[in-house]
Amino acid sequence: RRTSFEWLAANLHVPGATVRLDAARAEAHAWRTAEFQVLYPALHAATRPPGMKPYVLLELGSARVVPFVPRALSSFVHDHLATTGLSAAYDDNRPHTVRCVHPLVTLLETLDALARKAPRADVEAATYVRHYEDAARIIGALGALPPLPEHGDVRTLAAEMTAQRQLARVPIAADPAFEPARLAHGSQIQRAYLAVSPMYWGPRLSLDDAGTAIRTWIREHLG
């Protein structure tokens, strides 16, 4: 595993950027996963909000990739070129059929991470606090997502992921992790939640609203 990641670090080239393997973190995870930092020339480094990484982070390793949803990907730059009629003057290098893991898988993994980390006062809240809004936003968009044809319903998917040790256990609504105010260090989680606000471009959900959305969804869909 180490040889594979080190080979990838030596051969992964991003134009105009430097790719760096975080060997210490990979070693800590027995080289089952690895993080690659893509360091790019930053034009606005001095005004970057606190908590925002100065690089693009690529996380590689063993992960569930089914069920998936095929999606075409774009960017702000490509969208701007299209609206200004300049697309023909540039190469269109957008991927059009990327297999993106189904958001319900991401939702279950995110809730599992919160259940494992949030109750622990020794885990820095900044490392997981964004999961609250991430989960609530997925829940808010579920009506527009495709079904799970190969996995039945979300209960079946959660049970399968638990059996395969991809989840520690199926999330439960009564877990205090999903209502941080019940935790002794809940105020720290609230401060960390507010601290990451500069990373968001639109209106945010409050931590209480995110928790309510999570607990309601778990009661309705996981029982």
For the ranges 35-39, 93-97, 130-134, 217-221, the lowest mean pLDDT is seen at 93-97
| Model pLDDT for residues 167-180, shown as the tens digit of each residue | 999 999 999 999 99
Q: What is the pLDDT of residue 213?
A: 98
| Model pLDDT for residues 82-91, shown as the tens digit of each residue | 999 999 999 8
Q: What is the pLDDT of residue 151?
A: 62
| Model pLDDT for residues 151-202, shown as the tens digit of each residue | 679 999 999 999 999 999 999 999 999 999 999 999 999 999 999 998 888 8
| Model pLDDT for residues 17-38, shown as the tens digit of each residue | 999 999 999 999 899 999 999 9
Buried b (16+ CB within 10 A) or exposed e, 184-211: eebebbbebbeebeeeeeeeebebeebb
pTM of the model: 0.83
Q: Which long-range contacts (CB under 8 A, 24 or more apart) does 160-167 make?
A: 161/64, 161/105, 161/108, 161/109, 166/64, 166/109, 167/108, 167/109, 167/112
For range 34-54, the mean pLDDT: 89
